[in-house]
Chains A and B, each alone.
Chain A
């Protein structure tokens, strides 16, 4: 049996060992030595995260089902969804770049939302979902690879570039994507690892 130390925290960035202090609501503890964020105190962390993720899930579906924008030129109209943009690269023989776009803009965010729901909904109801440990590790590892906000900036740049040569109509998905980014960011800011594991311990893993 491995002993654990609940009262001490180590900085993930400089390994400095320090005593845990109680925080006011919304407070953040920073490492005394390197300034990295150590932990936060978000009241009802898991409930808030779940609420934001539920909203994000709905907007994610909208953002992927409708076109980001459409283009009118010479009496012709083209439009594209996020996946359509990745697929266009594949059709042009750039499957690797298409996969990169699909992975970072669609697959990773979809997995993040799905796994968070898979973990948090049962925990809310007092059940520990199967594969909780693996699910948690995957969500944590995916974090750097979700790039919807970067895609959004890219879409806006494309939109203003195309405005010079044709009539561009922003699509429903563009607005849904903006909402999705806000909600997913709010979910990430509300999610506290320690609250998550505290809940798991309460339920007796």
Chain B
């Protein structure tokens, strides 16, 4: 059995990483060095993460159904969802771009929703299944999550540049709001999840 900080009455500051002795009363206190709030585990980690994740999953639907971009030219207007935008890139031979946008806007958000849900469910069920693999999943997700913002940035550049009133214009569609919200909510959900919860059942630790 591994020695853990919690079992030895020690707490690690999440900000400055100072190790200090847990005070006799209370579940949280201020870090003596940097002043951050230290808790044995992030408070309400599982509940908060589930709530943020549910909200993100709901918004994931309009994010993919509604157009994220409306392009207008003398030939008429065209509404594009994320997927139809990827499809258009693929059809017109921009395979590299199609793959980048597909991975960033479809694969990464779905992977994040799936991984956070999986980590939460296994932590909640006090699973002891391969904690090292789950720790790696958590690190991987933290690393890739931010890249799902790519399409939002592409859209903002296009909207800013393609403003030739009579010839061609690009307007953002309502799907962009939902998609931006999904990105922020999944990031908040993964930040709410305390990765130490994966290991607590392994340590048979009861706070």
- Spell out A's residues near B (CB within 8 Å): 2-5, 8-10, 12-18, 33-36, 39, 68-71, 73-74, 76, 78-80, 84-89, 92, 94, 96-98, 100-101, 104-105, 133-134, 136-137, 140-141, 144-145, 147, 150-151, 153-155, 157-162, 164-165, 193-194, 197
Whether A157 contacts B16 in the complex (CB less than 8 A), given A16-B4, A165-B168, comes out as no
Whether A147 contacts B196 in the complex (CB less than 8 A), given A85-B160, A94-B176, comes out as no
Whether A155 contacts B157 in the complex (CB less than 8 A), given A14-B135, A140-B15, A150-B147, comes out as yes
What sequence of 0s and 1s flags, for each residue 56-100 of chain B, a beta carbon within 8 Å of any chain A beta carbon?
Answer: 000000000000000000000000000000000100101011001
Shortest beta-carbon distance, A166 to chain B, in Å? 8
Whether A134 contacts B35 in the complex (CB less than 8 A), given A3-B20, A10-B12, A74-B164, comes out as yes
Segment with Cβ contacts to A, from B43-51, B121-129, B148-156: B148-156
In the complex, the answer to whether A157 meets B154 with C-beta atoms within 8 Å is: yes
Say if the beta carbon of B25 comes within 8 Å of chain A.
no
In the complex, the answer to whether A15 meets B100 with C-beta atoms within 8 Å is: no
User: 20 other contacts beyond A8-B19, A13-B135, with CB at 8 A cut-off?
Assistant: A8-B10, A9-B17, A10-B12, A14-B4, A14-B131, A16-B2, A34-B199, A36-B135, A88-B159, A89-B172, A89-B176, A100-B180, A137-B35, A150-B147, A155-B157, A158-B154, A160-B94, A160-B96, A161-B158, A193-B17
In the complex, the answer to whether A88 meets B160 with C-beta atoms within 8 Å is: yes
Shortest beta-carbon distance, B82 to chain A, in Å? 13
What sequence of 0s and 1s flags, for each residue 173-206 of chain B, a beta carbon within 8 Å of any chain A beta carbon?
Answer: 0001100110110010001000110111001000
Shortest beta-carbon distance, A66 to chain B, in Å? 14
In the complex, the answer to whether A92 meets B158 with C-beta atoms within 8 Å is: no
Contact of B163 among A35, A78, A134, A136 (CB under 8 A): A78
Query: Given the complex, which residues of A lie within 8 Å of B96, measured CB to CB?
Result: 160
Query: Given the complex, which residues of B lie within 8 Å of A88, measured CB to CB?
Result: 156, 159-160, 163
In the complex, the answer to whether B147 meets A157 with C-beta atoms within 8 Å is: no
In the complex, the answer to whether A92 meets B171 with C-beta atoms within 8 Å is: yes
Say if the beta carbon of B26 comes within 8 Å of chain A.
no
Whether A9 contacts B19 in the complex (CB less than 8 A), given A137-B36, A144-B187, comes out as yes
Whether A85 contacts B157 in the complex (CB less than 8 A), given A100-B180, A197-B18, comes out as yes
What sequence of 0s and 1s flags, for each residue 1-25 of chain B, a beta carbon within 8 Å of any chain A beta carbon?
Answer: 0111111101010111111110100
In the complex, which residue of chain A has the Cβ closest to the Cβ of B184? A100
In the complex, which residue of chain A has the Cβ closest to the Cβ of B158? A158
Shortest beta-carbon distance, B131 to chain A, in Å? 7
